[in-house]
Amino acid sequence: MTRVRNEPIELRAVLDSFAELWSPRIVTRVNDYDVRVARVEGEHIWHAHDDTDEFFLVLDGELLIALRDGGDPAAERTVALPAGSVFVVPRGTEHKPSSPAGASILMFEPTGTLSVGDRHEAVPSHIEATTGHALGGPA
């Protein structure tokens, strides 16, 4: 279990401590939410979180998030998030994050939220289905 730390946490040092893609680390907790960071590159999978919104902050690089508003593939759109941008995917919205050139991101999610959501495609081997790893935890 990741505990709230009583000292500053340098995000660059955390990101430098692991190389795995799509494998979030839990930096700290705020109430019942995890603050997670992840390195991402390539494509994630289409998925949705039925009971929670998902907050993204791009620390470096660019993150693309394809969205299916109302679950309709014909209503698909993509938002581009450069470094310093934030975006919230509303609960129940199918989405597919990607980053062709790679990015580092920070996310707020309720503790225990699975990285591949409640509804998702088959999970390929380059994506880890996890609720996040404690700092210094398994890679």
pLDDT of residue 122: 82
Number of domains in the chain: 1
pLDDT 10s digits, 116-128: 888 777 888 888 8
pTM: 0.89
Task: Say if 32 falls within a structural domain.
Answer: yes
Q: In 6-135, where does DSSP find H-type helix? A: 11-16
pLDDT of residue 4: 60
Domain containing residue 76: 11-129
pLDDT of residue 5: 64
DSSP letter at 131 equals S
Task: Say if 3 falls within a structural domain.
Answer: no
pLDDT of residue 40: 97
What is the distance between the terminal CA atoms of the chain, rounded to a whole angstrom? 16
Task: Say if 23 falls within a structural domain.
Answer: yes
Task: Say if 112 falls within a structural domain.
Answer: yes
Q: What does the alpha-carbon distance between residue 108 and residue 32 come to, in Å, rounded to a whole number?
A: 10
pLDDT of residue 71: 60
Task: Say if 121 falls within a structural domain.
Answer: yes
Task: Say if 57 falls within a structural domain.
Answer: yes
| Distances, alpha carbon 50 to alpha carbons 27, 60, 76, in Å | 24, 28, 18
pLDDT 10s digits, 9-51: 999 999 999 999 999 999 999 999 999 999 999 999 999 999 9
Q: Which of 105, 85, 2, 90 is nearest to 44 (CA)?
A: 105
Residue 60 identity (one-letter amino acid): D
Question: For residue 2, what pLDDT band results from cuts at 50, 70 and 90?
Answer: low
CB 67 within 8 A of CB 77: yes
pLDDT 10s digits, 52-99: 999 999 999 999 999 997 766 788 999 999 999 999 999 999 999 999
pLDDT of residue 129: 86
Burial 56-89 (b: 16+ CB within 10 A, else e): bbbbebbbebbbbeeeeeeeeeeeebeeeeebeb
Tokens, residue 63:
């993150």
pLDDT of residue 123: 83
Task: Say if 134 falls within a structural domain.
Answer: no
Task: Say if 139 falls within a structural domain.
Answer: no
Domain CATH for 59: 2.60.120.10
